[in-house]
Amino acid sequence: MAKGEGLSYKARRRWSMVILLIGMPLYIVVAVNVVGLFERPSILLELAIYTALGVLWILPFKFVFRGVGKEDPDA
């Protein structure tokens, strides 16, 4: 692997599994508890909050998930 190329395909697959199996459930628990600290909003506003939080959690990990569902390019 050349310098600056980033994570290998296998490393990205492993990290994506860790993120999905450990990180996402933890994020869900934190999001529900943070939203629960405030007075419960209307159902539509609550849906919008959870939808936004559901999209925002993945943005920092976008590079990890890119191309993971495709065949190994090194194979």
pLDDT of residue 71: 79
| pLDDT tens readout for residues 3-40 | 446 788 888 899 999 999 999 999 999 889 988 888 98
24-28, Cβ contacts within 8 angstroms, sequence gap of 24 or more: 24/57, 27/57
Does position 2 have pLDDT exceeding 70, yes or no?
Answer: no
Buried b (16+ CB within 10 A) or exposed e, 24-49: eeebeeebeeeeeeeeeeeeeeeeee
pLDDT for position 16: 92
Domain extent listing, the chain: 9-60
Q: What is the pLDDT of residue 4?
A: 46
Determine the residue type at 49: I
The Cα 45–Cα 22 span in angstroms is: 27
